[in-house]
Each structure stands twice: as C-alpha cells, then as structure tokens.
Amino acid sequence: QVQLVQSGGGLVQAGGSLSVSCTDSGRTFSTSAMAWFRQAPGKEREFVAGLRWSGSTNVYYADYADTVRGRVTIFRDNAKNTLNLQMRSMTSEDTAVYYCAARYHSNVISAIPRDYDYWGQGTQVTVSS
C-alpha cells in the first residue's frame, strides 16, 4: 500500500522557522515529481513548492510559489525516503494545513492539485503574531 505519512509542523511565532516532512512507503517517489501544497481556512489548496529529479543531470530541481520564494526550501532525503519543507521568516499568511503530494507517472512539477496521485494526511502549521 502506497502511503505518504507527514510529520512536523505545529505552532511557531511570526518570524520563526518550522519544518514539515513526508515519508513515502509502499513505493519510492525519489524520481517522481513531488510537491507541497497548503490550504488555509476558506481558501483553495495552493501550491507551495515542488521537486523533480532529472535523470540526465542527476540533480533535483525545485520550483517555488512566488509567495514563499526565498523563505522556503524543499529537498529530498533519499536515505530516509522523505520529502522535506523548511520554512523561515514565517508570517500569519503561512498558517494553513500543509499537504505533501506525489505524481505516479510524471516527473513534471505541477501547481494543480488534481495532477497529483498521492497525498499525505495533512499537517497543521500555525504562525502566531
């Protein structure tokens, strides 16, 4: 059974840092496109960051939403089968439930939630002012 199990998150003060992680089991997504999305109350789920593997260069490439670019880092630890999101200089606008997602047959990063085949259970991140 394929699963994405999330950990991390929680409460952080404005200006602080926080990380969330996602561990894949059942199959590895090390060469698939993976991403983090978030959904704030009353809002649609939005793309935060994505990661894809390039077999031609053996390098991971990342893409970020403009709202988080420069404050967020997405990376994968293949030794632990985890996808990680590190966030810093956080504001109340970052408060949301964060979800990791993976595509099964594609290595293209998409900002569209329906393009992803697997999802984590969601992790609450709350930034207090």
Percentage of the chain with pLDDT > 90?
Answer: 81
* Biggest alpha carbon–alpha carbon distance for the chain: 45
- Tell me the sheet residues that pair with 101: 35, 119
Dump pLDDT digits (tens) for 51-107: 999 888 889 999 999 999 999 999 999 999 999 999 999 999 999 999 999 998 889
Mean pLDDT for all residues in the chain = 95
Q: What is the pLDDT of residue 123?
A: 97
Does residue 22 contact residue 5 with C-beta atoms inside 8 Å?
A: yes
Q: What is the pLDDT of residue 22?
A: 96
